[in-house]
Amino acid sequence: MAKLNRPPVIYSPTTIQDLLKIYHLNPDALIYAGGTGLLSGAEGDILHIRGSVINIAGVEELKKINRTDRYLELGASVPVSKVIDLGKSIVPEALYIALKQMGPPQIRNMATIGGNICRQANTMDIFPILHLHDCQVELRRFREYRSPRRFLKGSGSKWIPVSRLIDNDGKIIMESGEILTRIRIPNENWTFESYRKIDGPGSPLIFTALARLDKHILTDIRLSYSTVREKLIRNRDLEAEMIGRRVPFSGRDLTLLEGKLEAYFKGTGESSFTTARASALTIQFLEKISEPVDEGRV
Amino acid sequence: MIETKRLKEKLAGKIRFPEDISTKRTLIGAVVRSPIDHGEIRNIKIPEIPEDICLITASDIPGANKISVPGGSMPLLARKEVTYRGEAVLLAAGPDRETLDLFLEKIEIDYDPLPEWKYSEEKEETAGPARRIIKGDPVEALEQSAFKVESAFSTPLQRHLATPLLSVHVKTEGQKFTISSSTQWPTNVIQNCSAVTGVSRANFSIKLNPLGTPLDSKIWMPSLVAAQAALLAQKSRKPVSLSYSAEETLLCSPMRIPVRFHCEAGLDESGKLQALLMDFQIDTGSHAMLTSEILDRICIGTAGVYQCRNIKVTGLAYRSNKPPLGAFSGMGLSQAFFAVESLTDMLIARFIEQQKKDIERLIAEAVAAGDDNKLKSARTRTTTDPAIWRSRNFLIKGNTYLSGGKLMKSPPLDTVLEKLVSSSDFTRKHAAFSNALSKREKNGGSSFARKGIGLATAYMGSNFLRRERGLFSATVIGRLDKEGRLNLTTSSVPDNYALLKLWRQSAADILGIEESMVDISSDEENQIPLAGPATLSRNITVTTRLVSQACEQIKKRRFRDPLPLVVKKTYQNSSSRKWDTEKFAGHPFQELSWGGCVVEIEIDEMTFSPVVRKVWYSIDCGIILNRDSALAEVESETMQALGWCFNEDPERIRYWKLPGIDSLPEIHIDFTESSSRTANALGGIVLNTFPAAFRNALSQAAQSQFTSLPVRPEDIFTALEDR
Amino acid sequence: MNIICNVNGKEVAVETRPDKKLSAVLRDDLNLKGIRKGCGTGRCGSCLILLDDQLVASCLVPAFAARHKSIVTIEGFSQTKEFSDIVTGFKEAGVHLCSYCAPARVLSTAYMLRKHIMPTEEQINDIISSVQCRCSSFSHLKKGIIQASIHFSRRKDNG
CATH architecture for the domain at C81-157: Orthogonal Bundle (1.10)
Fold of domain C2-77: Ubiquitin-like (UB roll) (3.10.20)
Q: Spell out the residues 6+ positions from residue B651 whose beta carbon is closer than 8 angstroms to its own.
A: none
Q: Which residue out of A106, A107, A110 would a mutagenesis test of the C interface target, given it has the greatest number of C Cβ atoms within 10 Å? A: A106
Nearest residue in A to B711, CA atom = A201
**Residue A24 to chain C, least CA–CA distance (Å):** 22
Does B350 fall in a domain? no
The CA distance from A125 to A103, in Å, is: 11
Contact present, A251 and A227 (Cβ < 8 Å): no
- The C-alpha R_g of chain C, in whole angstroms, comes to 16
The CA distance from A155 to A21, in Å, is: 9
Q: Specify the pLDDT at position A298.
A: 38
One domain for residues B60 and B190: yes
Give Cα separations from A94 to A124, A133, A203, A284, C40 (angstroms).
13, 10, 21, 16, 30
Q: Which residue out of C99, C128, C138, C140 would a mutagenesis test of the B interface target, given it has the greatest number of B Cβ atoms within 10 Å? A: C99
Nearest residue in A to B104, CA atom = A1
Q: Which of A8, A36, A106 sits opposite C48 (nearest CB)?
A: A106
The CA distance from B122 to B103, in Å, is: 44
Contact present, A125 and A108 (Cβ < 8 Å): no
Q: Which of C19, C41, C129 sits opposite A7 (nearest CB)?
A: C19
Residue type, B94: G
Q: Which of B646, B649, B717 sits opposite A276 (nearest CB)?
A: B717
Give the ipTM of the model, two decimals please: 0.98
One domain for residues B84 and B192: yes
The CA distance from C40 to C23, in Å, is: 9
Give the CA angle between residues B543, C134, B694 to the nearest 5°: 100
The CA distance from C143 to C130, in Å, is: 17
Q: Specify the pLDDT at position A265.
A: 87
CATH number of A61-186: 3.30.465.10
How many structural domains is chain B composed of? 3
Share of chain B residues as helix, strand and coil, in percent rounded to the nearest 5 = 35, 25, 40
Nearest residue in C to B666, CA atom = C139
- Residues paired with residue B127 on neighbouring β-strands, in sequence order: B318
Chain B residues in contact with C35 (beta carbon < 8 A): 13
Inform me whether the C-beta atom of residue A104 falls under 8 Å from chain C C-beta atoms. yes
Domain with B449 in it: what CATH number?
3.30.365.10
| Contact across the interface for A198 and B607, Cβ inside 8 Å | yes
Chain C residues in contact with A32 (beta carbon < 8 A): 62, 64-65
pLDDT, one tens digit per residue, over C63-74 is 999 999 999 999
Q: Which of A4, A200, A280 sits opposite B101 (nearest CB)?
A: A4
Q: Specify the pLDDT at position A3.
A: 55
Contact present, A213 and A191 (Cβ < 8 Å): yes
* Numbered residues of chain A with Cβ closer than 8 Å to any chain B Cβ: 1-4, 43-45, 196, 198, 200-203, 272-273, 276-277, 280-281, 284
Q: Which of C1, C40, C55 sits opposite A105 (nearest CB)?
A: C55
**Residue B74 to chain A, least CA–CA distance (Å):** 23
Fold of domain A192-290: Enolase-like; domain 1 (3.30.390)
Q: Specify the pLDDT at position A42.
A: 66
* Average confidence (pLDDT) over C28-45: 93
Q: In chain C, what percentage of residues exceed pLDDT 70?
A: 99
* DSSP one-letter code for B540: I
Closest by CA position to B133, among listed B296, B327, B371, B364:
B296
Q: Specify the pLDDT at position B4.
A: 83
- Window A:33-62, CB contacts with C under 8 Å: 35-36, 38-40, 42-43, 45-49, 53, 55, 57
| Contact across the interface for B11 and C106, Cβ inside 8 Å | yes
The CA distance from A129 to A145, in Å, is: 37
Chain A residues in contact with B32 (beta carbon < 8 A): 1
Contact present, A62 and A181 (Cβ < 8 Å): yes
Question: Residue ranges of the domains in chain A?
Answer: 9-58, 61-186, 192-290
CA dihedral B690, B691, B697, B702 (to 10 degrees): 160
| Contact across the interface for C140 and B632, Cβ inside 8 Å | yes
* Average confidence (pLDDT) over C125-148: 95
The CA distance from B300 to B579, in Å, is: 13
The CA distance from B188 to B181, in Å, is: 12
Question: Residue ranges of the domains in chain C?
Answer: 2-77, 81-157
Task: For A212-250, give one letter per residue: b (16+ CB within 10 A) or e.
Answer: bbeeeebebbbbbbbbeebbbbbbeeebeebeebebebe
Contact present, A15 and A61 (Cβ < 8 Å): yes
- Window A:212-251, CB contacts with C under 8 Å: none
Does B329 fall in a domain? no
Cβ-based contacts under 8 A for chains B and C: 138
Inform me whether the C-beta atom of residue A170 falls under 8 Å from chain C C-beta atoms. no
Tell me whether the CATH fold assigned to C2-77 matches the one assigned to C81-157.
no
| Contact across the interface for A110 and C61, Cβ inside 8 Å | yes
* Numbered residues of chain C with Cβ closer than 8 Å to any chain A Cβ: 1, 17-21, 23-24, 28, 40-43, 45, 48, 54-57, 59-62, 64-65, 67, 108, 111-112, 126-127, 129-130
Does B488 fall in a domain? yes
Q: For chain A, how many helices (H) and strands (E)?
A: 9, 11
Inform me whether the C-beta atom of residue B164 falls under 8 Å from chain C C-beta atoms. yes
Report, as ranges of residue numbers, the positions in chain B whose pLDDT lies below 50. none
| Contact across the interface for B629 and C96, Cβ inside 8 Å | yes
Closest by CA position to B553, among listed B570, B541, B569, B540:
B569
Q: For chain C, how many helices (H) and strands (E)?
A: 6, 5
The CA distance from B428 to B423, in Å, is: 11
pLDDT, one tens digit per residue, over C106-123 is 999 999 999 999 999 999
Q: Specify the pLDDT at position A267.
A: 86
**Helix H segments across chain A?**
16-25, 80-86, 93-100, 105-110, 113-118, 127-132, 236-242, 251-267, 272-290
The CA distance from C48 to C59, in Å, is: 8
Element containing residue B610 per DSSP (H, E): strand B609-620
* Numbered residues of chain B with Cβ closer than 8 Å to any chain A Cβ: 30, 32, 97-98, 101-102, 104-105, 245, 247, 605-609, 646-647, 649, 657, 710, 712-714, 717-718, 721
**Residue B501 to chain C, least CA–CA distance (Å):** 13
**Residue C87 to chain A, least CA–CA distance (Å):** 22
| Contact across the interface for A273 and B101, Cβ inside 8 Å | no
What is the separation, in whole angstroms, between the first and last Cα of chain C? 43
Task: For B565-594, give one letter per residue: b (16+ CB within 10 A) or e.
Answer: bbbebbbeeeeeeebebeebbbbbbbbbbb
Closest by CA position to B223, among listed B326, B79, B297:
B326
The CA distance from B684 to B695, in Å, is: 18
Closest by CA position to B575, among listed B467, B684, B718:
B467
Nearest residue in B to C84, CA atom = B8
Assign 3-class secondary structure to B401-463: CCCECECCCCCCHHHHHHHHHHHHCHHHHHHHHHHHHHHHHHHCCCCCCCEEEEEEEEEEECC
Element containing residue B228 per DSSP (H, E): helix B221-236
Q: Which of B8, B213, B661 sits opposite C138 (nearest CB)?
A: B661
One domain for residues B518 and B453: no
**For chain A, what is the mean pLDDT?**
87
Inform me whether the C-beta atom of residue B674 falls under 8 Å from chain C C-beta atoms. no
Q: Which of B161, B246, B636 sits opposite C137 (nearest CB)?
A: B636
Give Cα separations from A292 to A192, A216, B436, B465 (angstroms).
12, 9, 29, 65
Q: In chain A, what percentage of residues exceed pLDDT 70?
A: 89
| Contact across the interface for B164 and C101, Cβ inside 8 Å | no
- Subunits next to B (3 or more Cβ pairs <8 Å) are A, C
| Contact across the interface for A3 and B712, Cβ inside 8 Å | no
**Residue A136 to chain B, least CA–CA distance (Å):** 32
The CA distance from B388 to A193, in Å, is: 49
**Residue C101 to chain A, least CA–CA distance (Å):** 15
- Subunits next to C (3 or more Cβ pairs <8 Å) are A, B
Contact present, B240 and B93 (Cβ < 8 Å): yes
Whole domain around residue B199: which residue ranges?
16-116+167-252
Contact present, B161 and C133 (Cβ < 8 Å): no
Q: Specify the pLDDT at position A153.
A: 57
- Subunits next to A (3 or more Cβ pairs <8 Å) are B, C
Report, as ranges of residue numbers, the positions in chain A whose pLDDT lies below 70. 1-4, 38-42, 120-124, 144-155, 292-298
Does B513 fall in a domain? yes
Nearest residue in A to C18, CA atom = A7
Q: Which of C37, C43, C102 sits opposite B10 (nearest CB)?
A: C102
Does B579 fall in a domain? no
